[in-house]
Amino acid sequence: MSDPWTNRVMPAVTAALLCLAAPSGQAQAQYRDVLHLHNGDVLAGTLQSILPEEGVLWQYDPDFPSVQFRYEAVRKIQLQPVMPPVEPESFQGLFRLADGDELVGRLEELNADQVTMQTRYGGQLSFHRNRWQWVLFDDEPVESVFSGPKGLEGWTRSDVSVQHLESGRWLYQDQAFYAHRAASIARDVKLPDVARIRFDFQWKGIPNLALALYTDYLHPVNLGDLAAEPKFGGFYSLQFLHNYANVLVVEQNAQLQRLGLGQIQVPAFVGKNRASIDIRVNKPQASLALLVDDKLVKIWVDNNGFSGEGTGIRLVHQGMGSSIRVSQLRIEPWNGQLEQPPAIRAKETSDALTRRDGERREGEIQTIRDGKVQLASDQEPVELPLADIRKIEFGGIPNGPVQPQADELTVTAKFAGRGLIRLKLRELREGRLLGDSPNYGPLDLDLRMFEELLFGP
């Protein structure tokens, strides 16, 4: 829709889209959410409510009156999730259902009729077992090498010299780092030889971040003149820019290969403003793997052997057209195994279990309760510890989306990080999303856990 009010606010909206939330005392973002209309208009502001009688109620600015939009005019709403960090739980995983719902939660029980799981956002949920296609369990909790950030103490902040660009500093608030200009922050986190590095990455503008891995030097280096830098040991620079990722091998006395170990496109960066980053490094195998939103992007192998000479990390905003946020940084030992993603086995008659040691078994899963899996197979029935299972793929469960009624308001709500749920929306107000799901029945969900609402089937 294009009206005089929209025309007045659009220049200010464009400016607002370039800002991220910043700590108190800094330039704070005035706008939290972003509304996308079917005609291409984009409005920043605050989602106030979604009510059957009123449509979408939107506030651009406290000094302006709220605006009401018809449902059919709205394509999607991007939200600023506020996810309190939690420690991982046993038997927690990503559950996929036949209509495309993907939920993160803790498995409690499976019987002949239904599945029961516990979630952060909706409490206990149950659904019929013939809707469950697969689950990929998280790695069992291990003691973290680092979990945070929890402040600036222990970190080294430095200016970044970038021609024609003003240097800034990384800022900290609410367990997150923020940077709006070129800046560096580093710490010796004692990276293990086989490590997993995870964090939530958010940006306005373009994804623009370089991570120095296995560095012994806590200040940024000028890649254009390595010989002139103070003495430093070799490290790897994993770079995100636009919709690409690249790994450079940086050694002071060796020629820098600009293309590094290979550039790769990252589809998950396109049309989004946040992603879940998962880096797996295997020093004995001289390999580095990148997963974005739980999907493997690439495995890089250094055929000259592992070049990292330290145990530190360095985060560098490279100062080109973006504001970025890094949160929920977690570094821990890794078992060195990269799992294949689960498959939909619609035409198979048996269920498949993959153990954490790589062993695969097939048969019929009868029950899961009290941390045990009962599996009937062609051989003798077996009981397996659920803690030993990495993924389960059920046989004979095809995709079966539920078609909404013509008068239903259908919303696909995407969780921050991973997962989504489809529901018939009843209302949204006071931070709660109320609706009805053909899988779980009535739902009352915490809006803070979502990053996007998509309207329509």
Q: 80: pLDDT confidence band, cut at 50, 70 and 90? A: confident
When the pLDDT of each residue in the chain is averaged and rounded to a whole number, the result is 85
CA distance readout (Å), 177 to 78, 79, 88, 102, 184: 21, 19, 22, 29, 11
Evaluate if residue 18 carries a pLDDT over 60.
no
Q: What does the pLDDT average to over 260-267?
A: 89
Query: Percent of the chain having pLDDT more than 90?
Result: 52
What is the per-residue pLDDT across 211-248, written as a single tens digit (0 to 9) for each? 999 999 999 888 877 878 889 999 999 999 889 999 99
The radius of gyration computed from the CA coordinates of the chain, to the nearest angstrom, equals 24
Of 338 and 87, the structure prediction assigns the larger pLDDT to 338
In this prediction, residue 164 carries a pLDDT of 57
Evaluate if residue 187 carries a pLDDT over 90.
yes
Q: What does the pLDDT average to over 318-333?
A: 88
Q: Give the chain's domains with CATH numbers.
A: 4-78 (2.30.30.100), 107-138+343-393 (2.30.30), 146-333 (2.60.120.560)
State the Cα–Cα distance between residues 13 and 198, nearest whole angstrom.
32
CA distance readout (Å), 322 to 41, 65, 273, 305, 358: 21, 30, 11, 34, 41
Q: What does the pLDDT average to over 355-381?
A: 89
Query: Percent of the chain having pLDDT more than 70?
Result: 87
Evaluate if residue 84 carries a pLDDT over 70.
no
Q: What is the DSSP letter of 139?
A: P
- Angle, alpha carbons 367-368-369 (nearest 5°): 115
Comparing 79-93, 104-118, 131-145, 233-247, which segment has the lowest mean pLDDT? 79-93
CA distance readout (Å), 24 to 11, 122, 170, 171: 25, 32, 14, 10
CA distance readout (Å), 330 to 140, 191, 216, 365: 14, 11, 19, 34
404-427 burial, b at 16+ Cβ within 10 Å, e below that, comes to eeeeebbbbbbbbbebbbbbbbbb
In this prediction, residue 81 carries a pLDDT of 73
What's the gap between Cα 67 and its chain centre? Answer: 31
State the Cα–Cα distance between residues 130 and 25, nearest whole angstrom.
53
State the Cα–Cα distance between residues 135 and 159, nearest whole angstrom.
45
Q: 10: pLDDT confidence band, cut at 50, 70 and 90? A: very low
Evaluate if residue 209 carries a pLDDT over 70.
yes
What's the gap between Cα 384 and its chain centre? Answer: 31
In this prediction, residue 116 carries a pLDDT of 94
In this prediction, residue 380 carries a pLDDT of 75
Q: 334: pLDDT confidence band, cut at 50, 70 and 90? A: very high
Evaluate if residue 3 carries a pLDDT over 60.
no
What is the per-residue pLDDT across 397-409, written as a single tens digit (0 to 9) for each? 998 866 655 567 8
Instruction: Please name the residue ranges forming H helices in 197-347.
Output: none
Give residues with Cβ within 8 angstroms of 348, minimum separation 6: 395, 396
Which of 13-17, 193-197, 317-321, 412-416 has maximum average pLDDT? 193-197
List the structure tokens of 380: 């003798």
State the Cα–Cα distance between residues 17 and 30, nearest whole angstrom.
10
Evaluate if residue 4 carries a pLDDT over 70.
no
Evaluate if residue 129 carries a pLDDT over 80.
yes
Which residues, in sequence order, are bridge partners of residue 442? 436
State the Cα–Cα distance between residues 321 and 208, nearest whole angstrom.
8
State the Cα–Cα distance between residues 412 and 430, nearest whole angstrom.
19
Q: What does the pLDDT average to over 424-436?
A: 91
In this prediction, residue 303 carries a pLDDT of 92
